Amino acid sequence: MERFEILQNRELAQDIFFLKVYAPVIARAAQPGQFLIVINDVHAERIPLTISDYSSDEGTVDLVVQAIGFSTRKIVQHEVGECFADVVGPLGNPSEFVEMPLPDLQNQHLLFVAGGIGAAPIYAQVKYFQQNGIQTTTIVGARNADFIILEEAFRQTGTALHLCTDDGSRGFHGNVTELLSDLVERQKLHFDHVITIGPLIMMKFVEQTTRKYNLPCVASLNSLMIDGTGMCGACRVTIDGKTRFTCVDGPEFDAHKVDFNEALTRQQNKKPHKHDHYCNLEKAVNEKHKVRNTRIPVREQPASIRSKNFNEVCYGYNAQEAMREAERCLQCKKPRCVGSCPVHIDIPGFIAEVANGNFQKAYEILSLSTSLPAVCGRVCPQETQCEGECVLGIKGEPVAIGKLERFVADWALSNVQPIAKEVEPGASKVAVVGSGPAGLTCAGDLAKMGYRVTVFEALQKAGGVLEYGIPEFRLPKKNVVAKEVDRLSAIGVDIQTDYIIGRAGNVDHLLQSGYDAVFIGAGAGLPRFMNLPGENLNGVYSANEFLTRVNLMQAYRDEFDTPVELADNVVVIGGGNVAMDAARTAVRLGARVSLVYRRGESELPARQEEIHHAKEEGIDFQLLTNPVEFLGDANSDLQSVRCVRMELGEPDASGRRRPEPVEGSDFIIEAGTAIVAIGTSPNPLLKKAAPEVSLNKWNCIDADNEWGRTTQPGVFAGGDVVTGAATVIEAMGAGKRAAKAIDNYVKKIKNQSYAV
Ligand code: FAD
């Protein structure tokens, strides 16, 4: 056999190859955790590769090579029988555990955590310890089933193998840290040491997770290596405040002492090498997306599955995906995205922190402007706001700002405890009517300023439309809405549910009973109807009633008592978010759904994502169509809806082309249920709730747009109750501005400066 002859070469997964190479000197000396350098031919560069196995008897070393750049591709293109010009090694220090006396390890339980191609170097160690009678458990994680490598080899070692995938296509559904937590918390497994190898960002989170459980953790930083001999110094890393070289001092280090943020920044800032030999799948995917100007795709439940359940449709980004997507941001000097965000989030600022893996900092930046980031990241119409202004959108897809916001917010919900705040005994009191996004934002901002805030909410749960309107599959109640509300309670906001202002006292009573100011964020919860013949037949719902039954009262779950009667065929009327939610909810309850909208596709006011999802879920869009009559049977039960086709005429007052009926185009849609989702207006109870406050001709509160001042001193208002049905972020923006105005007002009446 020739020196460095390739004895086996097979593809394990897309672009990941297994090579067995004849290298007897290295095979005799190799120990788990070491690596070698391959020089492909006389012109080639030095490529460091981890040894995944070795046999001194056969004189072979096993390598797992990810073919990304020019040089790694050349390596894997070798045929069996061909030879490398040089193979140098073994290099680096073996795993520190290999150096320990085996009896010291015999009572210990080692946990190995591998991500992606990190499974290869982990394998050599797992095999070694299993052969020496040491108990090991191994987690191997990958993006999906296709990227799980060496599964059979791991099983043969006898290790307790746990697989996980981001999309749930193999093993545990989630990432390696979630699985690690599951093993420790739920399965109550005890580990003495954790050894992790994989992408830097993964190791950073493994380090954080193990710190939480007081577990010693070792990370192998071999992905930082360039030359592998200590000559280039490119693999420098700060360990416990001191500079170390990965290839000489490592590659393994005490993970709790590694400055991962610095390492990540260095890895990202490294200029691409001429032939880009850097072995990193994530990076390659990112490069591909950068070139194509497309987003990192977000994982979702497939339409055929999700249309039968109420679980959240979109899984959101994981840490690696979020960082890759964040890297797409151009960090514009004059970011137009910020200007188009109603609460002026420092979007480039928080995205830059995501790109660096500083999620805590990203969250702190978000929190300066928004109290409900996990909500906004899910339901804001980003395409017409921040993302609509992103310059990347001119030639390709804008940065997925909403998905990044959601990622950071979800991360914070699991990792950041709100700082509990005691309200000063003499603090000024402010009352907030309604706990929707407007009320909650106003309350949160005032509480942060030191006010004693009480929110009065008519329903049994706080959240407004977030709780009773937007369905679980778009906005989870327990894990998102309730948690965001809890964070406000933690900072001192007192939320009184089941308290209807206008029935139990009114705004004047509040002002007389010691509140210095009142904010009204009572929304626009009164459904509109069309006044068509048959609209009061049994089976015709308003979207509000239908969605409240299903969301707030959880009628879709057997153990809840509230009924929701639904026929096999359902017609939903309208084209906004409410209509999409009603239609998609009806699909999940087993109905065939037609959506009737009087304008065309491009006029649909719903978020693009909802329209896209609704279509995927099989909803039949009857566009340029309008109902003219509901038809029932002798029992007054709805049987069908008579509709007419429409065409677009001249623009109306709103600037949109007015839909006009096409004569003689009537047709019937069979349906036992119709859901009317054509808009809402404020509840007439407002007159009793705030008798001194003027309303406008649409029965909305007459308040100035800027600060929410109403016609009654000390009473402010914002959100849908002022604008009519609008959006979550607009309601939040109004709540935020009103909080400032209230602060100024209260200071003024308490004889301090007044600047509004
Ligand atoms: P609300 O959220 O309506 O909250 C008002 C609260 O005040 C309610 O909890 C109500 O019970 C309470 N209240 C009312 N009267 C009183 C009283 N007298 N005493 C005490 N409490 C009272 N927007 C988006 O941006 N994206 C979307 O995807 C989206 N989807 C939607 C889907 C549906 C089904 C609906 C109905 C709306 C959707 N919207 C969406 C619009 C958005 O939810 C609203 O614009 C936003 O919630 C308005 O916030 P708000 O705080 O003004 O009012």
Q: How many angstroms does the Cα of residue 291 sit away from the middle of ligand 1?
A: 41
For 60, residues 6+ apart whose C-beta sits below 8 A from its C-beta are 7, 20, 21, 22, 23, 27, 54
Kindly report the average pLDDT of the chain as a whole number: 90
Q: Does the pLDDT of residue 46 top 70, yes or no?
A: yes
Q: How confident is the model at residue 229 (pLDDT cuts 50, 70, 90)?
A: low
The single-letter code of the amino acid at 72 is T
**Mean pLDDT, residues 337-341:** 94
Say yes or no: CB of residue 464 within 6 Å of ligand 1. Answer: yes
Q: What is the spatial order of strands in the sheet that 494-496 belongs to?
A: 494-496, 452-456, 429-433, 517-520, 715-717
Give the atom of ligand 1 at the shortest distance from the alpha carbon of 686.
Answer: 18
Whole-number Å distance between alpha carbons of 57 and 54: 9
The single-letter code of the amino acid at 705 is N
**pLDDT tens digits for range 250-285:** 888 999 999 998 888 777 655 344 333 333 334 444
Residue-level pLDDT at 234: 67
**Mean pLDDT, residues 316-339:** 93
Say yes or no: CB of residue 732 within 6 Å of ligand 1. Answer: no
**pLDDT tens digits for range 716-755:** 999 999 999 999 999 999 999 999 999 999 999 987 544 4
**Mean pLDDT, residues 25-39:** 87
Which carries the bigger pLDDT value, residue 727 or residue 167? 727
What percentage of the chain carries pLDDT values higher than 70?
94
Q: How many angstroms does the Cα of residue 391 sit away from the middle of ligand 1?
A: 32
The upper half-sphere exposure of residue 66, i.e. CA atoms within 13 Å in the direction of its Cβ, equals: 23
Take atom 18 of ligand 1 and give the residue whose Cα is closest. Answer: 501
Residue-level pLDDT at 605: 94
The upper half-sphere exposure of residue 481, i.e. CA atoms within 13 Å in the direction of its Cβ, equals: 26
Whole-number Å distance between alpha carbons of 368 and 380: 18
- Specify the range with the lowest mean pLDDT, choosing from 276-285, 365-374, 478-487: 276-285
Q: How many angstroms does the Cα of residue 464 sit away from the middle of ligand 1?
A: 5
- Specify the range with the lowest mean pLDDT, choosing from 376-385, 408-417, 635-644, 744-753: 744-753
Say yes or no: CB of residue 733 within 6 Å of ligand 1. Answer: no
Residue-level pLDDT at 226: 63
Residue-level pLDDT at 102: 84
**pLDDT tens digits for range 108-137:** 999 999 998 899 999 999 999 999 999 999
* Residues forming beta bridges with residue 196, ordered by sequence position: 113, 219
Task: Assess contact for 377 and 407: CB atoms under 8 A.
Answer: yes
Residue-level pLDDT at 241: 87
* CA-closest candidate to residue 275, choices 226, 223, 327: 226
Task: Assess contact for 527 and 544: CB atoms under 8 A.
Answer: yes
Whole-number Å distance between alpha carbons of 662 and 31: 81
Say yes or no: CB of residue 685 within 6 Å of ligand 1. Answer: yes
**How crowded is residue 461: how many other Cβ atoms within 10 Å of its Cβ?**
19
Which carries the bigger pLDDT value, residue 698 or residue 231? 698
Q: Does the pLDDT of residue 436 top 60, yes or no?
A: yes
Q: How many angstroms does the Cα of residue 436 sit away from the middle of ligand 1?
A: 5
Residue-level pLDDT at 421: 75
Q: How many angstroms does the Cα of residue 523 sit away from the middle of ligand 1?
A: 5
Q: Does the pLDDT of residue 292 top 60, yes or no?
A: no
Say yes or no: CB of residue 525 within 6 Å of ligand 1. Answer: yes
Residue-level pLDDT at 291: 45
User: Beta strand 242-245 with 236-239: parallel, antiparallel or unpaired?
Assistant: antiparallel
**707-736 burial string, b = 16+ CB within 10 Å, else e?**
bbbbebebbbbbbbbbbebbbbbbbbbbbb
Say yes or no: CB of residue 726 within 6 Å of ligand 1. Answer: yes
DSSP category for residue 589: T
Tokens at 266, concatenated = 């260095």
Q: Does the pLDDT of residue 42 top 80, yes or no?
A: no
Pocket of ligand 1, candidates 340, 728, 736: which has the most ligand atoms within 8 Å of its Cβ, to mutate? 728
Give the atom of ligand 1 at the shortest distance from the alpha carbon of 474.
Answer: 28
**How crowded is residue 441: how many other Cβ atoms within 10 Å of its Cβ?**
31
DSSP category for residue 122: H
Task: Assess contact for 633 and 639: CB atoms under 8 A.
Answer: yes
Say yes or no: CB of residue 408 within 6 Å of ligand 1. Answer: no
Q: How many angstroms does the Cα of residue 411 sit away from the middle of ligand 1?
A: 25
**Mean pLDDT, residues 235-243:** 84
Say yes or no: CB of residue 458 within 6 Å of ligand 1. Answer: yes
Say yes or no: CB of residue 342 within 6 Å of ligand 1. Answer: no
- Specify the range with the lowest mean pLDDT, choosing from 244-258, 274-288, 528-542, 674-688: 274-288
Give the atom of ligand 1 at the shortest distance from the alpha carbon of 524.
Answer: 3
**Mean pLDDT, residues 405-410:** 97
Say yes or no: CB of residue 727 within 6 Å of ligand 1. Answer: yes
Pocket of ligand 1, candidates 518, 577, 722, 730: which has the most ligand atoms within 8 Å of its Cβ, to mutate? 577
Residue that has been written with the tokens 């990370």 in this structure: 219
Dihedral sign from CA coordinates of 704, 707, 712, 713: negative
Take atom 27 of ligand 1 and give the residue whose Cα is closest. Answer: 379
Q: How many angstroms does the Cα of residue 393 sit away from the middle of ligand 1?
A: 30
Residue-level pLDDT at 268: 64
**Mean pLDDT, residues 593-606:** 95
Residue-level pLDDT at 231: 60
Residue-level pLDDT at 177: 95
Say yes or no: CB of residue 434 within 6 Å of ligand 1. Answer: yes
**How crowded is residue 535: how many other Cβ atoms within 10 Å of its Cβ?**
15
Whole-number Å distance between alpha carbons of 404 and 326: 7
Whole-number Å distance between alpha carbons of 361 and 355: 11
Q: How many angstroms does the Cα of residue 672 sit away from the middle of ligand 1?
A: 28
Residue-level pLDDT at 273: 40
Whole-number Å distance between alpha carbons of 508 and 697: 23
Residue-level pLDDT at 492: 92
Residue that has been written with the tokens 């296509």 in this structure: 169
Residue-level pLDDT at 232: 61
Supply φ then ψ for residue 138, to 5 degrees. Answer: -130, 130
Q: Does the pLDDT of residue 629 top 90, yes or no?
A: yes
Residue-level pLDDT at 272: 42
Say yes or no: CB of residue 607 within 6 Å of ligand 1. Answer: yes
Task: Assess contact for 267 and 274: CB atoms under 8 A.
Answer: no
Take atom 41 of ligand 1 and give the residue whose Cα is closest. Answer: 727
Cα of first residue to Cα of last residue in the chain, in angstroms, is 86
Tokens at 662, concatenated = 């096409």
Whole-number Å distance between alpha carbons of 278 and 226: 8
* Residues forming beta bridges with residue 253, ordered by sequence position: 219
Q: How many angstroms does the Cα of residue 721 sit away from the middle of ligand 1?
A: 9
Q: Does the pLDDT of residue 162 top 50, yes or no?
A: yes
Give the atom of ligand 1 at the shortest distance from the alpha carbon of 680.
Answer: 36
Supply φ then ψ for residue 557, to 5 degrees. Answer: -105, 135
The upper half-sphere exposure of residue 510, i.e. CA atoms within 13 Å in the direction of its Cβ, equals: 30
Coil vs helix vs strand at 346: coil
* CA-closest candidate to residue 686, choices 465, 503, 464, 517: 503
Whole-number Å distance between alpha carbons of 561 and 548: 13
Coil vs helix vs strand at 317: coil
**How crowded is residue 15: how many other Cβ atoms within 10 Å of its Cβ?**
17
Residue-level pLDDT at 262: 82
Residue-level pLDDT at 736: 95
Pocket of ligand 1, candidates 312, 314, 465, 553: which has the most ligand atoms within 8 Å of its Cβ, to mutate? 465
Q: How many angstroms does the Cα of residue 431 sit away from the middle of ligand 1?
A: 18
**634-646 burial string, b = 16+ CB within 10 Å, else e?**
eeeebbbbbbbbb
Residue-level pLDDT at 420: 75
Residue-level pLDDT at 284: 41
**Mean pLDDT, residues 514-529:** 95
Residue-level pLDDT at 233: 60
DSSP category for residue 174: S
Distances (CA, A) of 238 to 102, 244, 260, 446, 471: 30, 6, 8, 42, 47
Say yes or no: CB of residue 534 within 6 Å of ligand 1. Answer: no
CA 44-47-52 angle, to 5 degrees, is: 140
* CA-closest candidate to residue 597, choices 657, 547, 665, 659: 659
Whole-number Å distance between alpha carbons of 398 and 390: 5
User: Beta strand 314-316 with 299-300: parallel, antiparallel or unpaired?
Assistant: antiparallel
**Mean pLDDT, residues 375-385:** 95
Task: Assess contact for 310 and 560: CB atoms under 8 A.
Answer: no
Residue-level pLDDT at 277: 31
Q: Does the pLDDT of residue 328 top 60, yes or no?
A: yes
